[in-house]
Amino acid sequence: MYEILKTVNSPEDVKKLSSAQLETLAEDIRAALFNRLTKIGGHCGPNFGIVETTIAMHYVFDSPKDKFVFDVSHQSYPHKMLTGRRNGYINDDCFKEDSGYTNPEESEHDLFNIGHTSTSISLATGLAKARDLKGQKHNVIALIGDGSLSGGEALEALNFAGSELKSNLIIIVNDNQQSIAEVHGGLYYNLTKLRQSNGKAADNFFKSLGLDYIYEENGNDIQAMIKALQKVKDINHPVVLHINTQKGKGFELAEKNREAWHWCMPFDKDTGEWKITFPAESYTGLTTEYIMNKAKTDKDFVVITPAMPMTAGLSADLREKLGAQYVDTGITEEHAVAMASGIAKAEGKPLIVTNATFMQRTYDQVSQDVCINNNPVTILLNYASCVGLTDVTHLGIFAVSMFSNIPNLVVLAPTCKEEYLNMLDWSVEQKEHPVVIVMPGNAVTSRKADSDFSQINTFKVEKTGEKVAILALGDFYQKGEELAMQIEKNLGFKPTLINPRFASGLDEKLLNDLKVNHQLVITLEDGILEGGFGYKVAAFYAPSAMKVKNYGLNKEFYDRYNPDELLRKLGITSEQITEDIRKLI
């Protein structure tokens, strides 16, 4: 098992292998991928598809002298195995040693910690520029998937590379004819024509940007890839090496269903069944249901997901049902937001759904294209919580801090199923405000909720008490409920419990009223404190005698943490907060 892979301690060892051994190495890598992915899950299709190319890259180039930048780096598992990190794949005790992305802390062969798309070419132009300033000579190689090409950052960089960088830069476009879901955009028709013509089709997108261009049909053939890479090694100008690969190659299920196997949970190797039981009810499921019903009854309603349909549970058959009322813009968050502004201006009802972390791309579009124009766009953020995505590159804990300080934007933080659905429908229907809604990260809970949110920044008093008021926002509302009980039990009085609902502004009247028989306000929020909700409350009371204590996450790039442990460490438990309160009052 893994006999050749076990001989590879560094890329130098790859170069010593015969053709036959390289083939065995590919088999070993696939077996190692299965080992890790069946047991802990991760990015699947991208890694199976890139095995041969990665072997060829390490055979031809000399990393770390030559520099590799992997776009998204979700396809870097084979690279990790060949750069001293095979144990993270073949030894079950070592899985945790490796992140799912390139990581300079793990190896000198990894240049950047990357998890968002479309960044590799820009980063690589920077490496090349510094190399040139220093008079060094080495190859800089960016590997980017066809799906990532549609992102603005990648397109900007291609245009730049096409004329401004007149030195070595090798851009490997890994064309597996798939984004996360299917690809979207005119560019992909061009790639198709190029594949069909063995790279000779007219109106070559890359050449139109001034880039040199080479096509290699057999991206899953080690020897073909070695030859292709030898052709571009040490080239003295930017070149695109467009390669054709099969996403999921060597794993039949992933070859057949590329969308479902882009990323996976732990699974049974034989059946492909995921070893996880989903709760009967989830906020994603509720979202899917809402969308499908709404679309049926309202022809102005349109859902936009920039390449992430599954964040709204929109499988291929549901997307087809939605027809013109569904738009996958491809990986283009900026365009998606501006397009939604146009739709809203023309009295459509646009709903954008995607992961919070990817919406970081859109601060300016939300501010300028949407909010200055006050167009009623609804943006639904998945995983804007400390629960969910815990890789440092995918954190959703910055979203409320980023969005809630943009003027005109209403940021809603629902606390239960009813409130979530009511907020969603209210937002889609109203015409006064751009709205961001934070999809809860908690398990689904049920309570009565209001359905009209047009009185912006009105908080809801859920339990009236004294001395201490708890403002428990969104996902942390249930922690507020728990805390209220803990206080009553341990401190002997009933505190006031408030559901703020609005993360982007204050209910000043209510906050003033609290001064009468409260001396301390506690804020709880599921995100970083700086720039967030609690600090607004603190600043409001700062000139007064009211004390405030904010609970939330620090401004920090947490990485692969256990959410419960993290919250305990930060003192965000009913017990610890009750102790803090005891000292403060």
Q: Residue by residue, what is the 3-state secondary structure of 555-575?
A: CCCCCCCCHHHHHHHCCCCHH
C-beta separation of 421 from 393 below 8 A: no
Among 348, 447, 461, 515, which residue sits at the site for a copy of itself (rule: CB under 8 A)? 348
- How many other CB atoms are found less than 10 A from the CB of residue 65? 10
- Cα–Cα dist 378/216, whole Å: 43
Q: Count Cβ neighbours within 10 Å for each residue of 318-350 and write b for 16 or more, e otherwise.
A: bbeebeebbbbbbbbbbbbbbbbbebbbeebbb
Helix ranges restricted to H, 492-555: 508-514, 533-541
Minimum distance from residue 52 beta carbon to a copy of itself (Å): 27
In single-letter form, the type of residue at position 261 comes to W
Q: Quick check: 430 binds a copy of itself (CB under 8 A)?
A: no
Q: Quick check: 443 binds a copy of itself (CB under 8 A)?
A: no
- Cα–Cα dist 516/505, whole Å: 21
Find, among 438, 430, 433, the residue nearest to 412 by Cα. Answer: 438
64 upstream amide cis, omega within 30 of 0:
yes
Q: Quick check: 235 binds a copy of itself (CB under 8 A)?
A: no
What residues from 391 to 410 belong to the interface with a copy of itself (CB under 8 A)?
392-393, 398, 401-402, 404-408
CB of 74 or CB of 335, closer to a copy of itself: 335
Minimum distance from residue 1 beta carbon to a copy of itself (Å): 36
Nearest-5° Cα angle at 171, 165 to 172: 175
Among 187, 214, 253, 570, which residue sits at the site for a copy of itself (rule: CB under 8 A)? 187
Q: Quick check: 132 binds a copy of itself (CB under 8 A)?
A: yes
What residues from 519 to 538 belong to the interface with a copy of itself (CB under 8 A)?
528-531, 534-536, 538
CB of 29 or CB of 377, closer to a copy of itself: 377
Q: Quick check: 236 binds a copy of itself (CB under 8 A)?
A: no
User: What mask, x for binding a copy of itself by CB under 8 A, covers residues 286 to 315?
Assistant: -------------xx-x-------------
Among 207, 237, 269, 569, which residue sits at the site for a copy of itself (rule: CB under 8 A)? 207
Q: Quick check: 128 binds a copy of itself (CB under 8 A)?
A: yes
CB of 32 or CB of 397, closer to a copy of itself: 397
Minimum distance from residue 547 beta carbon to a copy of itself (Å): 5
Contacts of 477 (CB under 8 A, 6+ apart): 415, 416, 499, 524
Stretch near a copy of itself under the rule CB under 8 A, chosen from 5-13, 183-191, 249-257, 265-273: 183-191
Among 71, 146, 369, 419, which residue sits at the site for a copy of itself (rule: CB under 8 A)? 369
Among 219, 350, 434, 465, which residue sits at the site for a copy of itself (rule: CB under 8 A)? 350
- Cα–Cα dist 464/491, whole Å: 16
C-beta separation of 480 from 470 below 8 A: yes
Q: Quick check: 560 binds a copy of itself (CB under 8 A)?
A: no
Q: Quick check: 61 binds a copy of itself (CB under 8 A)?
A: no
Structure tokens at 61: 């180039």
What residues from 98 to 127 belong to the interface with a copy of itself (CB under 8 A)?
104, 111-116, 119, 122-127
Among 10, 91, 159, 458, which residue sits at the site for a copy of itself (rule: CB under 8 A)? 159
What is the torsional sign of CA 525, 527, 533, 537?
Answer: positive
Find, among 144, 141, 140, the residue nearest to 153 by Cα. Answer: 144
Q: Quick check: 327 binds a copy of itself (CB under 8 A)?
A: yes
